[in-house]
Structure 1
Amino acid sequence: MGISDSDFNFVRTFIHNRAGIVLEPGKEYLADARLSPLLRQSSFKNLSELVAELRTNSFSPWNSKVVDVLTTNETSFFRDHAPFEALRTYVIPELIAARRCEKRLNIWYAASSTGQEPYSVAMLLAEHIPELATWDVSHLATDISTEALDRARQGRYAQFETNRGLPATYLEKYFDRDGLEWVLKDYIRKAVRFEELNLNKAWPALPSMDIVMMRNVMIYFDLESKRDILGKVAHLLRPDGCLFLGAAETTMHFDERFSQARRDRSGCYRCDMQYKQTG
């Protein structure tokens, strides 16, 4: 038996309030498909009992489990390629020139899922920009899903995950095989720090960022949430810092302070300092 209309409406409100995610009307099938597997992990007889738990217990451990399964964790190594080429060819080289005295870079991956994106950048820097080995490079990766973060910290991936976007040379150089899985070498895995963070709630104190990777997450938020998040990013970025969005995302109509760094497909944006100072 599928999810009822009243339960679906509650779940829509629940996930919007908890994570800012917009679950459109007509997506009952999605809620049913994502939530039903939780029944096998519990004593709930049906989805109505699970939703009843959410309705009556705001501290239930099932609250975070429901957020986890309703959060889209689609990701892959070097996804879309163009952003990583932009990092390699002009973003990182320009930042190195500007930071040569301080020798420090802060990179934030704001929706890191199971870790493929931050690990891709860590490998990219090790492979192409060895100069940064002597720098203090901070890779902070955050996500709302505790389950995804637990997986990311392990740096352990199945064969089908490494087949998606990861060059064979990188697999041989930066991973060790363990049975049917591949495990990142410690120096790459330990370079990235994973923390829980909900983009739609109050953010903890964060250092000024040189690069913010916020790819393929804004599309799930409503207009107000997009404007609020972009406003926070504008104040967090250093004057010559870069924000990366997904291929289907834009700052247009949401925050006039941002504009594309170059006319390419990288999704790289910079914040106009004139607007930033008055925004």
Structure 2
Amino acid sequence: MTPLDYEYLRKLLRERSGLDLSADKQYLVESRLVPLARRNGLAGIGELVQKVKAGSEALTIDVIEAMTTNETFFFRDKIPFDHLRQAVIPELIQARAAKRSLRIWCAASSTGQEPYSIAMVLKEFATELSGWRVEIIATDISLGVLEKARAGIFSQFEVQRGLPIQLLVRHFRQVGELWQLNADIRAMVQHRQLNLLQDFSHLGTFDLIFCRNVLIYFDQETKLGVFNRLARALEPDGTLALGAAESIVGITEAFKPYPDRRGLYRPNTARDRAGLKLVAAAG
């Protein structure tokens, strides 16, 4: 792979997926794209780049999917799901009692472990949510991972990562050496393709948004744009959940942290943002 090929791929990935590769990640690109080139009968990355430049949209999508990190597991980081169970859902049930409706968005949902973890938590509130309209929308840029997520079939290794044994017994059935989620949990989640770099206002507004462990791959300008659009997609009293290594600090004033709820944020009102500007000006 030539330096020019690498720079072209860096620019392509940044513009199409938000992935911001540093200058020293050639090894990562080679490890993921050389096998893709071979599967397409190409001699190497140079020839792959030429075909992408020539306008092969199918190959471009394959490149983006190959480079997208899809690391995920059930109840990842645990703490956000403890908050969900102990505080967020009970508070939303109280706040939405009049309209009896709850909308949750899991962005960058990968192979489905995160939205299905949310669904299993909601199942614990089946009595309180009886008769409610409950939606879980799971989106990802990759059609491949969405297809796997819809099937709800996971390996022994995947169900052993973060999934308590009692939930495995309760919500899965064994199919040979694999495990499939029961139909009632799968039916709780709607899977859709979505690129976070594009407008997502058509999804409507949500009471809770999980956007975890994806923005760490974006540059600051891209993060700011996504945060601003997420703020518009969240109800004024809604909650945003970010990954353990992610933060809004120094990026946006659209959100503020929840006290004593690590990783959770709520929208800043116009008054809150005005106050922040006054404090900054006074300083």
Moved over 6 A (4+): 276-279
| 1:44 and 2:34 matched | no
Contact 1:141 1:195 in 2 (8 A): yes
- 5+ residue gaps, structure 2, are 278-283
Q: What residue is the counterpart of 2:12 in the other structure?
A: 14
- Is the partner of 1:34 in helix, strand or coil? helix
| CA 215–225 in structure 1, closer or farther in 2 if over 3 Å, else same | same
**One-letter amino acid of the counterpart of residue 273, structure 1:** T
Q: Deviation of residue 133 (structure 1)? A: 3.9
Q: Deviation of residue 7 (structure 1)? A: 1.0
Q: What residue is the counterpart of 1:164 in the other structure?
A: 161
| 1:268 and 2:256 matched | no
TM-score (normalised: structure 1):
0.94
CA distance in 2, matches of 1:157, 1:133: 29
**One-letter amino acid of the counterpart of residue 87, structure 1:** L
| 1:23 and 2:26 matched | no
Q: What residue is the counterpart of 2:128 in the other structure?
A: 131
Contact 2:253 2:273 in 1 (8 A): no
**One-letter amino acid of the counterpart of residue 158, structure 2:** E
- 1:154 is matched with which residue: 151, 160, 169? 151
CA distance in 2, matches of 1:15, 1:275: 37
Contact 1:257 1:276 in 2 (8 A): no
Q: Deviation of residue 276 (structure 1)? A: 7.4
Q: What residue is the counterpart of 1:114 in the other structure?
A: 111
State how many pairs are aligned.
275
| 1:211 and 2:208 matched | yes
Question: Over residues 157-204 of structure 1, what are the superposed CA-to-partner deviations in whole Å (9 max), with x where a residue is unaligned?
Answer: 011000100000111110011011100000101110000100012225
CA distance in 2, matches of 1:227, 1:116: 27
CA distance in 1, matches of 2:238, 2:79: 18
- 2:236 is matched with which residue: 221, 225, 239? 239
TM-score (normalised: structure 2):
0.93
Contact 1:211 1:241 in 2 (8 A): yes
Q: Please show how residues 244-259 of structure 1 align to structure 2 within 5 Å.
A: 244-259=241-256
- 5+ residue gaps, structure 1, are none
| CA 246–275 in structure 1, closer or farther in 2 if over 3 Å, else same | farther
**One-letter amino acid of the counterpart of residue 33, structure 1:** S
CA distance in 2, matches of 1:6, 1:86: 47
Q: Deviation of residue 129 (structure 1)? A: 5.2
- Is the partner of 1:75 in helix, strand or coil? coil
Q: What residue is the counterpart of 2:199 in the other structure?
A: 202
Contact 1:53 1:60 in 2 (8 A): no
- Is the partner of 1:227 in helix, strand or coil? helix
Identity %: 42
- 1:92 is matched with which residue: 89, 93, 115? 89
Contact 1:257 1:275 in 2 (8 A): no
CA distance in 1, matches of 2:271, 2:222: 20
**One-letter amino acid of the counterpart of residue 266, structure 2:** R
| 1:223 and 2:245 matched | no
Question: Over residues 24-49 of structure 1, what are the superposed CA-to-partner deviations in whole Å (9 max), with x where a residue is unaligned?
Answer: 10100000011122133211121111
- Is the partner of 1:109 in helix, strand or coil? strand
CA distance in 1, matches of 2:199, 2:261: 33
Question: Over residues 235-272 of structure 1, what are the superposed CA-to-partner deviations in whole Å (9 max), with x where a residue is unaligned?
Answer: 1111110000011111111111311112243x000012
Contact 1:235 1:276 in 2 (8 A): no
| CA 207–156 in structure 1, closer or farther in 2 if over 3 Å, else same | same
**One-letter amino acid of the counterpart of residue 106, structure 2:** Y
Q: What residue is the counterpart of 1:61 in the other structure?
A: 58
Q: What residue is the counterpart of 2:280 in the other structure?
A: none
CA distance in 2, matches of 1:146, 1:4: 29
- Is the partner of 1:121 in helix, strand or coil? helix
- The CA RMSD measured in Å over matched residues stands at 1.6
**One-letter amino acid of the counterpart of residue 225, structure 1:** T
CA distance in 1, matches of 2:259, 2:85: 14
Q: What residue is the counterpart of 2:172 in the other structure?
A: 175
**One-letter amino acid of the counterpart of residue 62, structure 1:** L
Question: Over residues 191-242 of structure 1, what are the superposed CA-to-partner deviations in whole Å (9 max), with x where a residue is unaligned?
Answer: 1000010001222512211001000011111111111111111111111100
Question: Over residues 99-121 of structure 1, what are the superposed CA-to-partner deviations in whole Å (9 max), with x where a residue is unaligned?
Answer: 01111000001110000000001
